[in-house]
Amino acid sequence: MTISKVNKKFIYLISPNKVKNNNFYSQLKKIFKSNKIAFFQLRLKKESKKKKIIVGKKIYKLCKKYKVKYIVNDDPFLTKIINADGCHLGQNDMDIMLARKILKKHILGITCHNSKKLIKKAVKNKASYIALGAFFSTKTKRIKYKANLKILNWAKKITNIPIVAIGGIKFDNYKKLLLNKANFLAISSYVWNNNKYKPVEAIKKLK
Protein backbone atom coordinates (compact mmCIF):
# COMPACT_ATOMS: atom_id res chain seq x y z
CA MET A 1 0.00 0.00 0.00
CA THR A 2 1.42 3.37 -1.00
CA ILE A 3 1.22 6.50 1.12
CA SER A 4 0.66 9.98 -0.23
CA LYS A 5 3.71 12.14 0.42
CA VAL A 6 1.81 15.42 0.22
CA ASN A 7 -1.23 15.42 2.45
CA LYS A 8 -3.27 18.03 4.28
CA LYS A 9 -3.84 15.28 6.79
CA PHE A 10 -0.48 15.58 8.56
CA ILE A 11 -1.24 14.10 11.99
CA TYR A 12 -0.22 10.58 12.93
CA LEU A 13 -2.31 10.10 16.08
CA ILE A 14 -1.17 7.50 18.62
CA SER A 15 -3.68 6.05 21.07
CA PRO A 16 -3.39 6.40 24.83
CA ASN A 17 -1.89 3.36 26.60
CA LYS A 18 -5.32 2.41 27.97
CA VAL A 19 -8.89 2.99 26.78
CA LYS A 20 -10.78 3.77 29.97
CA ASN A 21 -14.40 4.11 28.79
CA ASN A 22 -16.74 4.60 25.84
CA ASN A 23 -16.15 8.35 25.92
CA PHE A 24 -12.88 7.62 24.09
CA TYR A 25 -14.75 6.52 20.95
CA SER A 26 -16.93 9.63 20.80
CA GLN A 27 -13.80 11.78 21.23
CA LEU A 28 -12.03 9.85 18.49
CA LYS A 29 -14.99 10.29 16.14
CA LYS A 30 -14.88 14.08 16.65
CA ILE A 31 -11.11 14.09 16.09
CA PHE A 32 -11.46 12.12 12.84
CA LYS A 33 -14.14 14.57 11.68
CA SER A 34 -11.49 17.33 11.82
CA ASN A 35 -10.05 15.77 8.64
CA LYS A 36 -6.46 16.23 9.87
CA ILE A 37 -5.66 12.64 10.86
CA ALA A 38 -3.73 10.63 8.27
CA PHE A 39 -2.90 7.68 10.55
CA PHE A 40 -4.18 6.28 13.80
CA GLN A 41 -1.87 3.93 15.69
CA LEU A 42 -3.24 1.45 18.20
CA ARG A 43 -0.66 1.41 20.99
CA LEU A 44 -2.31 -0.18 24.02
CA LYS A 45 0.65 -0.98 26.24
CA LYS A 46 -1.51 -1.57 29.32
CA GLU A 47 -4.26 -3.79 27.90
CA SER A 48 -4.65 -7.57 27.50
CA LYS A 49 -4.62 -9.20 24.06
CA LYS A 50 -8.36 -9.83 24.35
CA LYS A 51 -9.07 -6.17 25.16
CA LYS A 52 -6.80 -5.04 22.31
CA ILE A 53 -8.89 -7.07 19.86
CA ILE A 54 -12.20 -5.70 21.19
CA VAL A 55 -10.98 -2.09 21.16
CA GLY A 56 -9.13 -2.61 17.88
CA LYS A 57 -12.23 -3.77 16.03
CA LYS A 58 -14.28 -0.80 17.24
CA ILE A 59 -11.59 1.63 16.08
CA TYR A 60 -11.35 -0.18 12.73
CA LYS A 61 -14.92 0.88 11.92
CA LEU A 62 -14.17 4.53 12.70
CA CYS A 63 -10.96 4.49 10.65
CA LYS A 64 -12.82 3.04 7.66
CA LYS A 65 -15.63 5.57 7.94
CA TYR A 66 -13.30 8.58 8.09
CA LYS A 67 -10.63 7.20 5.72
CA VAL A 68 -7.84 7.13 8.30
CA LYS A 69 -4.98 4.66 7.80
CA TYR A 70 -5.07 2.24 10.73
CA ILE A 71 -1.72 1.06 12.17
CA VAL A 72 -1.03 -1.42 14.97
CA ASN A 73 2.04 -0.97 17.14
CA ASP A 74 4.63 -3.81 17.10
CA ASP A 75 2.26 -6.77 16.43
CA PRO A 76 1.82 -8.06 12.86
CA PHE A 77 -0.49 -10.85 14.05
CA LEU A 78 -2.87 -8.42 15.79
CA THR A 79 -2.71 -6.31 12.63
CA LYS A 80 -4.17 -9.24 10.68
CA ILE A 81 -6.77 -10.12 13.33
CA ILE A 82 -8.31 -6.63 13.37
CA ASN A 83 -7.75 -6.07 9.64
CA ALA A 84 -5.68 -2.91 10.12
CA ASP A 85 -3.88 -1.20 7.22
CA GLY A 86 -0.44 -1.82 8.62
CA CYS A 87 1.98 -2.24 11.48
CA HIS A 88 4.65 -0.08 13.11
CA LEU A 89 7.84 -1.80 14.21
CA GLY A 90 10.41 -0.61 16.72
CA GLN A 91 14.02 -1.72 16.47
CA ASN A 92 13.42 -4.41 19.12
CA ASP A 93 10.28 -5.78 17.48
CA MET A 94 9.92 -8.33 14.71
CA ASP A 95 12.31 -8.02 11.76
CA ILE A 96 10.71 -6.05 8.94
CA MET A 97 11.37 -8.79 6.36
CA LEU A 98 9.57 -11.38 8.49
CA ALA A 99 6.73 -8.94 9.13
CA ARG A 100 6.49 -8.37 5.36
CA LYS A 101 6.00 -12.13 4.83
CA ILE A 102 3.10 -12.08 7.29
CA LEU A 103 1.50 -8.84 6.13
CA LYS A 104 2.31 -8.87 2.39
CA LYS A 105 1.37 -5.46 0.94
CA HIS A 106 0.29 -3.84 4.20
CA ILE A 107 1.90 -0.60 5.39
CA LEU A 108 5.06 -1.29 7.41
CA GLY A 109 6.64 1.60 9.27
CA ILE A 110 9.83 1.42 11.28
CA THR A 111 11.45 3.52 14.00
CA CYS A 112 14.91 4.74 13.04
CA HIS A 113 15.52 7.05 16.04
CA ASN A 114 18.31 9.44 14.99
CA SER A 115 20.44 6.93 13.07
CA LYS A 116 21.63 7.29 9.48
CA LYS A 117 22.51 3.59 9.50
CA LEU A 118 18.97 2.58 10.52
CA ILE A 119 17.44 4.95 7.96
CA LYS A 120 19.54 3.38 5.18
CA LYS A 121 18.56 -0.11 6.36
CA ALA A 122 14.85 0.82 6.41
CA VAL A 123 15.10 2.23 2.88
CA LYS A 124 16.87 -0.94 1.69
CA ASN A 125 14.17 -3.10 3.30
CA LYS A 126 11.45 -1.06 1.58
CA ALA A 127 9.75 0.32 4.68
CA SER A 128 6.52 2.20 3.87
CA TYR A 129 7.59 5.07 6.13
CA ILE A 130 10.26 5.81 8.72
CA ALA A 131 9.82 7.41 12.13
CA LEU A 132 12.52 9.74 13.45
CA GLY A 133 12.85 11.18 16.95
CA ALA A 134 12.43 12.07 19.68
CA PHE A 135 12.63 15.68 18.54
CA PHE A 136 11.38 17.08 21.86
CA SER A 137 11.05 15.80 25.42
CA THR A 138 7.98 13.63 25.98
CA LYS A 139 6.08 12.04 28.84
CA THR A 140 4.74 9.21 26.65
CA LYS A 141 7.94 7.15 26.94
CA ARG A 142 11.47 7.45 28.31
CA ILE A 143 13.75 9.05 25.72
CA LYS A 144 16.84 7.10 24.74
CA TYR A 145 17.44 8.86 21.42
CA LYS A 146 17.29 12.58 20.68
CA ALA A 147 16.91 13.68 17.08
CA ASN A 148 17.44 17.10 15.53
CA LEU A 149 16.50 18.85 12.29
CA LYS A 150 19.83 17.87 10.68
CA ILE A 151 18.88 14.17 10.60
CA LEU A 152 15.44 15.06 9.22
CA ASN A 153 16.95 17.17 6.44
CA TRP A 154 19.52 14.48 5.67
CA ALA A 155 16.82 11.80 5.42
CA LYS A 156 14.76 13.97 3.07
CA LYS A 157 17.77 14.19 0.73
CA ILE A 158 18.48 10.47 0.53
CA THR A 159 14.97 9.01 0.32
CA ASN A 160 11.44 9.72 -0.85
CA ILE A 161 9.96 7.49 1.86
CA PRO A 162 7.51 9.52 4.00
CA ILE A 163 8.94 10.61 7.34
CA VAL A 164 7.01 10.63 10.60
CA ALA A 165 8.49 12.93 13.26
CA ILE A 166 7.96 11.74 16.84
CA GLY A 167 8.53 12.89 20.40
CA GLY A 168 6.92 15.64 22.46
CA ILE A 169 5.20 17.36 19.53
CA LYS A 170 2.65 19.98 20.55
CA PHE A 171 1.18 23.33 19.57
CA ASP A 172 4.27 25.45 20.28
CA ASN A 173 6.75 23.32 18.31
CA TYR A 174 4.91 21.44 15.54
CA LYS A 175 5.35 24.04 12.77
CA LYS A 176 9.13 23.78 12.92
CA LEU A 177 8.92 20.13 11.85
CA LEU A 178 6.44 20.79 9.04
CA LEU A 179 8.62 23.63 7.74
CA ASN A 180 11.51 21.17 7.59
CA LYS A 181 9.35 18.87 5.46
CA ALA A 182 8.38 16.15 7.93
CA ASN A 183 5.47 14.43 6.16
CA PHE A 184 3.57 13.47 9.29
CA LEU A 185 3.71 14.35 12.99
CA ALA A 186 3.18 11.62 15.59
CA ILE A 187 1.16 13.01 18.48
CA SER A 188 -0.15 11.37 21.64
CA SER A 189 0.14 13.06 25.05
CA TYR A 190 -0.62 16.53 23.59
CA VAL A 191 -4.06 15.17 22.68
CA TRP A 192 -4.88 12.66 25.44
CA ASN A 193 -3.14 14.27 28.45
CA ASN A 194 -3.65 17.95 27.74
CA ASN A 195 -4.60 19.88 30.88
CA LYS A 196 -5.71 22.93 28.88
CA TYR A 197 -7.67 21.52 25.92
CA LYS A 198 -10.01 18.61 25.30
CA PRO A 199 -8.71 16.17 22.63
CA VAL A 200 -10.70 17.61 19.73
CA GLU A 201 -9.75 21.19 20.72
CA ALA A 202 -6.07 20.22 20.91
CA ILE A 203 -6.25 18.84 17.35
CA LYS A 204 -8.04 21.91 16.01
CA LYS A 205 -5.18 24.10 17.27
CA LEU A 206 -2.84 22.36 14.82
CA LYS A 207 -3.41 23.99 11.41
Provide the pLDDT for residue 46.
86
Model confidence, pTM = 0.94
Within 10 angstroms of residue 109's Cβ, the number of other Cβ atoms is 27
Provide the pLDDT for residue 206.
95
Taking the chain (207 residues) in runs of 10, the rounded mean pLDDT of each run is 65 94 94 97 94 97 98 97 98 95 97 97 97 86 84 97 97 96 96 95 95
Within 10 angstroms of residue 167's Cβ, the number of other Cβ atoms is 24
CATH 3.20.20.70 at 11-204, yes or no: yes
Residue 19: exposed, middle, or buried by beta-carbon count in 10 A (0-12, 13-18, 19+)?
Answer: buried
